Structure 1
Amino acid sequence: MHRISRFIAVAVFVIVPLPFGSVDLIWTWIWTSLLLASLLTANLSRVCNSDFWVIGPTGAVLLLLCALAVFQIFPGVSDALADPSWRVARDIAGVTEPNRISATASVPWIGFGSCLLFVLAFLRAYLLATDEEAARQTLKTIAYAGFAYALYGILAHLAAPSALLWRSKEYYLPYATGTFVNRNTAAVFWGSCSILFLGRLARIASDALVAKQPRRHGSRSFTDHPATLAGGFLTCLVATGMTGSRAGVLLTLFSLACLANLHLMQLRFQSRHYWLGAGAVAAATLVGFLVIGGSVVGRVSLFGLTDGQRAEVYRTALEMLRGHELLGIGIGNFETAFPPHRPASLGSQGIWDKAHSTPLEMMISVGLPLGATICAIAAFFWGRMLWGTFSRLRDRDIPATAASVFLLGVLHSCIDFSLQIAGFAVIFAAISGCGLAQSISTTRRPQKI
């Protein structure tokens, strides 16, 4: 039963980017159902008391989000809390709908479904990764799935640039997007997979440099051979560059450099040796940008590093928050609430169904108290992964790799909506869950039976 449960979870992690990034609502419910079934049959024999520092806050936030979603769509609230659109609808259109906090009657409940999927993926991966071998195999499977998607994305762009799987490609024709509709989401997905490959390569290099650590795994399989890992790393990195995403490429290279420095610090070199290594990492990052970032350089020279329209949307989103600081405008309601506030400076072109900043959109959707709490928990989780990187005696590469992916995903989500696309959000949650589970020393866990 446990093997079937694990297979279902890993299968979801592998397949979720395939159907156009799982942006359609039907996929959210399919993956939620499968992960829920897998979670209910999970093996809990390796769970220890330290795990509740992760499971507890995650479960509490999910319950608060559920309660908030129900309260936001609950009819009959006071005029002081209600969204003014309900009063306008009654006065102008003559409808008889009661007051609600949310501007819509059902969207917050639908939006909660995406939150539920994210948490289920996170918790299922976390429970899987309480076993170090299962954690390593899960991350390896995700990495090679990313390699397959990257290889497909490269070949598809070269052979049929106007096709997106079996559909006609409408957007980003000059760039590779793989199975995703949006090139920025594709960039951060492939960038995360390149980090997984580099994390494994860095561990092999660390084992070779530190003579006191004998090889524990015997002869390496084909998938663990340095040449194979290097091929997967380069393929994912090239695919990232072919997306032409400014933030995706730059933040991927930054996160790769952070991962390399984490491994250098783990080796506890002398100061002179560390700075030599850090300099080499910086040089490699610069070379990597020059090699894979040709289209990015062109876009930066043409449009610059910042986007004036997004800055205008951020300013408008902050204005939308006024009067809704406590309970928000409703989970998932940005698309509905933004048009009345849309500034004339944005013109008539462009569809702003998202704020292009997940933390900002979260703040205006759920309110400042809960939004700040979620941000604080995320910072705590990242710090816990960094702590595990330096406190563990072995398997330190897993929390280091997950911390770098976490950094990439969070930073990118601050200026885009990659974490609001299920095809990447589930992968991000799974990698983060593995890293957090392996941030706890194996000696604290019950021994395998």
Structure 2
Amino acid sequence: MFALAIISGLLFGEPRQSRGVFGIVLFLLIVLTGWMFIQTIQLPSRWLANPAWDVARDLAGVNYAAISVEPADTFASILWVALPFVTFLTGLLLCDTDQRARTVLNGLGLSAGIIAVFGLLQFSLFPRILIVVEKHAYLDSLTAVFVNRNTAATFLGLGTLLMLTLVRDIARSYSNHPPGEPGRNTLLLRSWIYALLLCACFTALMLSRSRAGIFATFVAALIYFPWLVIHWNGSRRHLKPVPRWRSMLKLLSAIVFVVVLLTMFAGQAILRAQERRLEDDDRFCILPGIWRAISDHWLTGTGLGTFRTVFSAYRDPACGIFGIFDRAHNFYLEGFLGLGIVFPIAAILVFSVLASVFRRGLAQRRRLRHYVVLGLAATVLVALHAAVDFSLQIPGFAVFYSAFLSAVVAISLGRSSGEVDMAYERSLTN
């Protein structure tokens, strides 16, 4: 990815329309990686060093002292943080036009659909196999190419939203294609293939049995699907105004459809929620201990990648003595504990920039406005699930989401051009 970023920068240069976002993200990448490096080195006069190093010096004669309690793990985590950032920056370099951005989203959607089909076949025929190795966890759940069902659910939820968008685009192209013209049958075939891949993503999502993943997708669908139904034919300038009652009817129908769909097909996840209440979930039991750890190290953090070591001192015996918590099951709290006050500042900056980008996209884009809403809904999905799981900490999903986000940000900041949009729609028939 780093090599691709360098090549893209040399070939395309700095992106024009998304230059501001590119600069902010690059600055944020430098700040975060720089701070993580500072956490690993020995500062003069043991300044800001973690108190654990004093104990290590007294007991074992260790002379080293740093902010991180495990400098090697924190140093290794720099790459895990840099990878999604560099992926996003590379995406902005490549998606310098609406057509390229939509091509990237088309490829990501089809990839998600193919992975969903693979997951369904694997779960049906070889439920105890994970790609090519033996599966040891979540034997009752579809995880596709992931180990954890929650990460799989986040990926499949995003894939479902993407494939829904592709089905909408190809269906509109087919309906606008003149009968008898070459390419109409090809469009029909592609419409059916896209629809089947959409069904595969949705089915795989339901079989993941992830309560949080399905609920987050449900919230995102309530944002995206009603809007898509109301504006199915696109927002064109010369369309006749639609009566308000008809728009309200479409809105209510879309909401009812999403609720009914969830009720009908999310039975296994709902059953899991009923069998194991929130207060009985270990991930919620350990929250007070995480907050105590954060309160003790809120300024400098303990070093990213050190949660497993640090949390053991704050673990409540009432949560049980079995198992090892190597992750906080909360992206925000683990980031706060690892990086200190730098993390919430960075998170607020990221969400503020995304809010500004989506607001601009909703105000300026016409034909491609549904991609802006798609980006908003997907961000809500990922942000909600990150509060109870660690999907964003898995490199495979982090890279996929970063590539997706770069394309929707590029579209949101792009200038509306009817001729370019129509040219892309005509290219769907080729």
Q: Contact 1:403 / 1:432 at 8 angstroms: preserved in 2?
A: no
Amino acid at match of 1:200: L
Give 2:238's aligned residue. none
Moved more, 221-230 or 101-110: 221-230
Q: State whether structure 2 residue 21 is matched by structure 1 residue 54.
A: yes
- Equivalent-residue separation in structure 1 for 2:312 and 2:111 (angstroms): 39
Residue 269 of structure 1, CA deviation = 4.6
Identify the residue that residue 262 of structure 1 maps to in structure 2.
227
Is this contact kept in 2: 1:386–1:400, CA < 8 A? no
Displacement, 1:225? Answer: 3.7
Task: Quote the offset at 1:179 in angstroms.
Answer: 1.0
1:231 paired with 2:196, answer yes
Q: 1:42 to 1:117 in 2, by over 3 A?
A: farther
Give 1:226 shift: 3.1
Return the match for 1:424 from 392, 397, 403. 397
Distance across 2 between alignment mates of 1:223 and 1:107: 52
CA, structure 1 residues 80+320, in 2 after alignment: closer, same or farther (shift >3 Å)? farther
Q: Provide closer, same or farther for how the CA distance between residues 146 and 223 of structure 1 changes in structure 2, counting only shifts above 3 A.
A: farther
Structure 1 stretches of at least 4 aligned residues deviating more than 6 Å after TM superposition: 205-209
Which stretches in structure 2 are left out of the alignment for 5+ residues?
236-240, 421-430
Q: Which stretch shows the higher mean deviation, 348-357 or 263-272?
A: 263-272
Q: How far has the Cα of 1:425 moved from its partner? A: 0.6
Answer yes or no: is the 8 Å Cα contact 2:137–2:147 preserved in 1.
yes
Q: Shift of residue 331 of structure 1?
A: 1.7
Find 2:211's aligned residue among 246, 255, 264: 246
Greater shift in the superposed pair: 72-81 or 406-415: 72-81
**Cα distance change, pair 332–114 in 1 and its aligned pair in 2 (3 A):** same
Q: Which runs of 5+ in 1 are unaligned?
A: 1-31
**Paired position in structure 2 for 1:43:** 12
User: Which deviates more from structure 2 when the two are superposed, residues 121-130 or residues 387-396?
Assistant: 387-396
| CA displacement at 1:318 relative to structure 2 | 1.4
Q: Does 1:90 align with 2:63?
A: no
Q: 1:150 to 1:208 in 2, by over 3 A?
A: closer
Counterpart contact for 2:227–2:251, Cα < 8 Å:
no
Alignment of 1:156-195 (within 5 A): 156-195=122-161
Q: Letter of the 2:124 partner, please give it.
A: L
SS in structure 2 of the partner of residue 318 of structure 1: helix
- Measured after TM superposition, the shift of residue 99 of structure 1 is 1.5
Q: Deviations over 1:101-157 (max 9, x none)?
A: 111122222111111101111111122222111111111111111111111111111
1:204–1:400 CA distance, 2 compared to 1 (3 A) = farther
Q: How far, CA to CA, are the matches of 1:272 and 1:207 in structure 2? A: 28
Residues 265 and 87 (structure 1), Cα distance of their counterparts in 2 relative to 1, 3 Å cut = farther
- Name which of structure 1's ranges 430-439 and 126-135 shifts more when overlaid on structure 2: 126-135
| Counterpart contact for 2:85–2:402, Cα < 8 Å | yes
Which amino acid is 1:64 matched to? V
| Greater mean deviation of Cα atoms: 150-159 or 76-85 | 76-85
Deviation at 1:320, TM superposition (A): 0.8
The aligned residue for residue 19 of structure 1 is none
Amino acid at match of 1:140: N
Which deviations, in whole Å up to 9, do the C-alpha atoms of 1:309-359 show, x marking residues without a partner? 222322211111124222211122212211111111121222211111111
| CA deviation after TM superposition for structure 1 residue 369, in Å | 4.0
CA contact (8 A) 1:237 1:292 kept: no
Equivalent AA in structure 2 for residue 67 of structure 1 = G
Alpha-carbon distance, 1:394 to partner: 2.4
Call closer, same or farther: CA 1:259–1:443 in 2, change over 3 Å: closer
Contact 1:76–1:98 at 8 Å: present in 2 too?
Answer: no
- Equivalences for residues 18-417 of structure 1 within 5 A: 32-44=1-13, 47-48=15-16, 50-78=17-45, 81-94=48-61, 96-203=62-169, 219=183, 221-222=186-187, 225-264=190-229, 267=235, 269-305=242-278, 308-417=281-390
Alpha-carbon separation, structure 2, partners of 1:260 and 1:100:
50
Contact 1:72 1:102 survives alignment (8 Å): yes
Q: From the superposition, tell whether residues 43 and 201 of structure 1 become closer, same or farther in structure 2 (CA, over 3 Å).
A: same
- Count of aligned positions: 408
The CA distance in 2 between the partners of 1:207 and 1:66, in whole Å, is: 45
Q: Indicate the structure (1 or 2) with the bigger Cα radius of gyration.
A: 2
Report sequence identity in percent.
Answer: 26
Q: Provide the rounded CA distance (Å) in 1 between the counterparts of 2:336 and 2:117.
A: 37
Larger CA deviation: 82-91 vs 267-276: 267-276
**CA 240–307 in structure 1, closer or farther in 2 if over 3 Å, else same:** farther
- Give 3-state SS (helix, strand or coil) of 2:253's partner: helix
Q: Tell me which moved more, 333-342 or 218-227.
A: 218-227
- Cα deviation, 1:32-53, whole Å, max 9, x if unaligned, reads 44444444444238x32x4222
Measure the CA separation in 2 of the matches of 1:156 and 1:251.
Answer: 25
TM-score by length of 2: 0.87
Cα displacement string for residues 148-189 of structure 1 (whole angstroms, at most 9, x for unaligned residues): 111111111111111111111000001111111001101110
Report the Cα distance in structure 2 between the residues aligned to 1:344 and 1:426, rounded to whole angstroms. Answer: 36
Once the two structures are superposed, what CA deviation does each residue of 1:222-276 show, in whole Å capped at 9, x if it has no partner?
A: 5984322221111100000111000111211221221123335655854322221
Give the direction of change, closer, same or farther, for the CA distance of 1:33–1:51 in structure 2 (3 Å limit).
Answer: closer
Supply the distance in 2 between the matched residues of 1:307 and 1:145 (Cα, whole angstroms): 36
Report deviation, 1:80: 6.2
Note the C-alpha offset of 1:93.
2.3
**Partners of 2:398 and 2:104 in 1: CA distance:** 16
Task: Provide the aligned C-alpha RMSD in A.
Answer: 2.8
